[in-house]
Amino acid sequence: MNLDKAKKRIAKQTKKGFKGYPTISIEYFGKEAGCATEVVVTFTLEEGADAQEERFTSKTNARESEVIQSALVKIIERTQAVSVDEVAGVSVK
């Protein structure tokens, strides 16, 4: 899947807002606000359940990595997430 298509599919899911469980939360981290080198994906099956976490790292900007963005789309599809939340920007570590 190409990068633009993956980004659009993720954006479409996040625009829907909270619709119930299961949920996926996506947060980007980096050493500076302009470049995300790590992505944390948190999956919650139901309210009150323990969250499962998956991390992806990249030497370059993870938001521009076709492999990582495609993996995020696949995770959303395979978990059948009803709600997808994406934390805006890059959290500085």
Residue ranges per domain, the chain? Answer: 3-88
pLDDT tens column, 31-73: 998 899 999 999 999 999 999 999 999 999 999 999 999 999 9
Treating both helix axes as pointing N-terminal to C-terminal, what angle do 66-79 and 3-15 enclose, rounded to 10 degrees?
Answer: 40
pLDDT for 56: 96
Q: How high is the mean pLDDT of the chain?
A: 95
Q: Which CATH architecture has domain 3-88?
A: 2-Layer Sandwich (3.30)
DSSP for 59-81 reads SS-GGG-HHHHHHHHHHHHHHT-
Question: What is the rounded CA–CA span in Å between residue 91 and residue 35?
Answer: 10
